[in-house]
Structure 1
Amino acid sequence: MLPAANRLTRSQDFGLVVRRGRRAGRPRLVVHVLLPSSARPRRADDGPPPSAQPTLDPSKVGFVVSKAVGNSVVRHRVSRRLRHLVRGRLAELPAGTCLVVRALAPAAEASSAELGEDLDAALRKVLR
């Protein structure tokens, strides 16, 4: 189980991460990451620079497992596996990072090891 402080719960937050974050796709899942303003490169349309203080907000994670993955039993199994995998990788994320993991239909037949490989590869891609 993820601590409450690390859960992404509001639909507006999910939408923001999916729209403005970086995306990396793998065969079984897609990862969307929105880095805190102090950790991501500045763009001209970002507005005024943030203060020099680094953010100490905890990283937040949300999961999207649609009906395309399977029935409710399968969807909950996939989300439990993903939640367990992400919990072990929270410390690797910069503080204040928002992460949305979207499971694709092939995730239903995937083992935890396969999901872990896809998750690691996608996180490496969006965090470099």
Structure 2
Amino acid sequence: MLPAALRMRRSEDFALTIRRGTRAGRSTLVVHCRAVPEQDGARVGFVVAKAVGGAVVRNRVRRRLRGVVVEQMNSLPSGADVVVRALTPAASASYLELVEDYRSALTAAVRRLDDRASRT
């Protein structure tokens, strides 16, 4: 279970993170990351569209992604919003594939965020 303090809930936060944040995609998912300076910890949200599959499949993918994020909680940047968007291949991906794709995409998105911050 994802702790309540880590959950992103408002649709405005999702939209801002997707529109204004950095993005890194892999074969099973896309990670969007946005710096929120006035925020203490990180928050995470999940987007699993109907294209991934039926309700049972989408919920299974969402549960797996939540588990991945909880395992990798230490790698979340402080003061950031992160949106993890599942792609269609996530439905048939193994847990280890999801872990590798998430870790790789998060690292790339945070690196791009740092690059963007250093340019300003």
TM-score of the two chains, using structure 2 as the length reference: 0.88
Equivalence map 1:64-79=2 (5 Å): 64-79=47-62
The letter of the residue matching 1:7 is: R
Query: What is the match of residue 25 of structure 2?
Result: 25
Cα shift at 1:36: 3.1
Which segments of structure 1 move beyond 3 Å, counting only runs of 4 or more?
Answer: none
Deviation by residue 1:66-119 (Cα, 9 ceiling, x = unmatched): 100000000000000000001122222221110000000000000100011110
The match for 2:4 is 4
Q: Which amino acid aligns with 2:10?
A: R
Structure 1 counterpart of 2:49, one-letter code:
S
The reply to whether residue 99 of structure 1 matches residue 82 of structure 2 is yes
Would you say the 8 A contact 2:48–2:62 is kept in 1?
yes
Helix, strand or coil for the counterpart of 2:52? Answer: coil
Aligned positions of 1:21-60 closer than 5 A: 21-37=21-37, 57-60=40-43
**Matching residue of 1:114:** 97
1:87 aligns with 2:70: yes
CA distance in 1 between counterparts of 2:6 and 2:29 reads: 20
Q: Is the 8 A contact 1:65 1:103 kept in 2?
A: yes
Q: Secondary structure at the match of 2:82?
A: strand
SS at the partner of 1:125? helix
Structure with greater proportional helix content: 2
| TM-score, with length taken from structure 1 | 0.82
CA contact (8 A) 2:39 2:80 kept: no
Higher CA-based Rg = 1
Gap regions ≥5 residues in structure 1: 38-54
Identify the range of structure 1 (89-98 vs 66-75) with the bigger mean alpha-carbon deviation: 89-98
Structural RMSD (CA):
1.2
| Seq. identity, % | 56
